[in-house]
Chain A
Amino acid sequence: MARDGTPAPRDRPSSWASRLPWARRPVHPVLAAAIGAGLAAYAWVAGSAAPFSRGAFLAVLIPAAVIALIACIRPPQRIPPPERLDVLGTSYWLIVLTAFFEWEASAYKDNSWPWHPSFTDLINPLMGPHVIKSAAILVWILAGWALVRR
């Protein structure tokens, strides 16, 4: 404790991440808008890449590399995870997700498009329009950022 009553740095309850200077600094609205516009532009360009092309591969590799780099070097302040999950409440998720993957696995195993299409077979035609694919890429990038904050 310091003489003036303020707690010394070693007395303050904090993690190393919260001590980083950028950890609690709010993002300026102009900067946030610029980042949003940049991400939208990136998603638009990435959405124009032809499937199975080098450009399409790089389009999904670059955001992953950037997010991995941020997670390792400059991690944002994380949202504290729950100490424990309710067993009954979590079981609902397990039932639904297991059913989903079972339904998908049966379609994948049958390999009988178009009679028993997999989820991917149904989603791919929806991704045809450029604007839809770009929006989906933008949502995917934002989901990755949300995961890094968890």
Chain B
Amino acid sequence: MPPIPTRAITIIGFVILVAAIFALEILARRPGSRIPTVGQWLGYLMRPKLGRFLILLGWWWIGWHYFAR
């Protein structure tokens, strides 16, 4: 059996982690779930003005990073 190339391992790792993010969001939306949704923990982090500023800055950075570069 040929060894799995490093590139494939890296991609599999990202796929697993992105799938885990979606799985957590689905689990969080079940009634009575203790897991917060993305919107809930982001809202919690955005309660102070500094948190609000940093989260919105992060949102802008994502746009700049992926669409302007």
Contact = CB atoms under 8 A, between A and B. Distances in A.
A122 B42 contact: no
Nearest to A83: B44
B42 A150 contact: yes
Interface of B: 5-7, 10-11, 13-14, 17-18, 20-21, 24, 28, 33-36, 39-44, 46-47, 55-56, 59-60, 62-69
B66 A127 contact: yes
A96 B20 contact: yes
Given A57-B68, A96-B20, A96-B24, A64 B6 contact: no
Interface of A: 46-47, 49, 51-52, 56-57, 59-60, 63-64, 67-68, 71, 79-82, 84-86, 88-90, 92-93, 96-97, 99-100, 103, 107, 114-117, 119-120, 122-124, 127, 133, 136-137, 140, 143-144, 146-148, 150
B55 to A, nearest CB: 6
B67 A85 contact: no
A63 to B, nearest CB: 7
Given A60-B64, A60-B67, A114 B35 contact: no
Contact of A60 (B42, B47, B55, B68): B68
21 contacts: A60-B64, A64-B60, A79-B39, A80-B43, A81-B44, A82-B43, A88-B34, A89-B35, A92-B35, A93-B24, A96-B20, A103-B14, A115-B5, A115-B7, A115-B10, A116-B6, A117-B10, A127-B66, A137-B63, A140-B59, A144-B60
